[in-house]
Every structure is written in structure tokens, then in C-alpha cells.
């Protein structure tokens, strides 16, 4: 009969339990958006031929990776006919203790955001949430809401930074991400 040392047994148990799904999965959810569902008019842009409420949806996340020091939230449409997609929302420097943004947090005033959080400039040209508004007749576009877990407390960006600049700044500091995709067409 072979014997296994206590240390080897503990090491084997650790390896087996690591793959058993006991670790929390980094997830993004929303009471306002359903995965692959249609985005309600309340969250649609109110210009360019669209007549929505232009209110940012509530978002909540859980299971952030160990070592997370801040979060960045983005909303992006890869289907926009711009050659580079369309950035609808970007919020940087969300403190690590925050796990949700309430509905309407993306207002231009930023009063619904946690202290210290900064909204970057979207492709609409403002530092606020800008809802979906795809061209009339296009197939429904995919709107990808993502929370990025970062290894730094603060990104070196200001409120006039473009979403692309925020993406560049978070590139080397991202330690995890969770996304939720919803659709909208007209």
C-alpha cells in the first residue's frame, strides 16, 4: 500500500478544490437589462431620431478578483457603422468597495456616482451616459456593458478623456472583467 505525505495530500486537495467551482465568479447583472434581451426605451438616447429617456441602467457586480483596487464601467456598441464602434458610457475610479451603480448614475451631473468616480467622454461628445440609437433599419445592435476590475486605485484620466483613452489607461491594470450584452434596434 502506498502512503501519501500529509503535505502532498493537502497540495492535491488544494489543486482539486481550485477547479471545483468554489471560487466566486466575477459577474455583472442588471435589474434593467436582460442578457441578449431588448433594451427598454427608458435607456435609449433622446436625439438623432431616437426618443428614449436616456437614463443609464442600474448595474451590479459580484465576485471581483482578489487584489481589485478600483473598477471602471464601460458601455460599447461594436455594431455602430463608424469603423470603430461607439462608446456610450465610461466611468473610471469607482472605489473597490462599490459593487453597484443605481439607475440614472450616468446623468451629466454625476450625482448618482460614488465619490471619486469620473465619467469619461463618450462618442456623443459628453461626459455622461448616452443610450442606444442605432441607424433606422439596421439589425439590432449589441450593447456591451462591462465592469473592469483594476489593480490600481486611480486611472490617470480626467473627465475630458475619451473612452479610448480610458481603455488605453486600464489596459495594463485590468485583472478581471465581467460583461452583460443587451440589444436594441429600430
Supply the pTM of this predicted model.
0.87
**Between these two residues, 9 and 148, which has the higher pLDDT value?**
148
Q: Which triple of cell numbers denotes residue 147?
A: 465592469
- Average pLDDT in the 124-144 region? 96
pLDDT tens digits along 173-185: 999 999 999 999 9
CB 155 within 8 A of CB 93: yes
Which residues have CB under 8 Å from 4's CB, separation 6+?
12
pLDDT tens digits along 87-123: 999 999 999 999 999 999 999 999 999 999 999 999 9
How does DSSP classify residue 47? S
Amino acid at each position: 500500500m502506498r502512503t501519501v505525505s500529509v503535505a502532498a495530500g493537502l497540495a492535491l486537495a488544494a489543486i482539486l478544490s481550485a477547479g471545483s467551482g468554489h471560487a466566486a465568479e466575477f459577474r455583472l447583472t442588471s435589474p434593467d437589462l436582460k442578457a441578449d434581451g431588448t433594451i427598454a426605451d427608458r435607456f435609449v438616447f433622446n436625439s438623432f431620431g431616437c426618443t428614449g429617456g436616456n437614463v443609464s441602467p442600474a448595474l451590479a457586480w459580484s465576485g471581483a478578483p482578489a487584489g481589485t483596487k478600483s473598477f471602471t464601467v464601460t458601455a460599447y456598441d461594436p455594431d455602430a457603422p463608424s469603423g470603430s464602434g461607439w462608446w456610450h458610457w465610461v466611468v473610471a475610479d469607482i472605489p473597490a468597495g462599490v459593487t453597484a451603480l443605481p439607475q440614472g448614475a450616468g446623468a451629466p451631473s454625476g450625482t448618482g456616482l460614488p465619490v471619486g468616480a469620473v465619467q469619461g467622454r463618450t462618442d456623443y461628445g459628453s461626459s455622461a451616459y448616452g443610450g442606444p440609437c442605432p441607424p433606422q433599419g439596421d439589425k439590432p445592435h449589441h450593447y456591451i456593458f462591462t465592469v473592469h476590475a483594476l489593480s490600481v486605485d486611480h486611472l490617470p484620466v480626467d473627465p475630458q478623456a475619451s473612452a479610448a483613452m480610458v481603455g488605453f489607461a486600464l489596459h495594463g491594470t485590468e485583472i478581471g472583467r465581467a460583461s452583460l450584452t443587451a440589444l436594441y434596434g429600430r
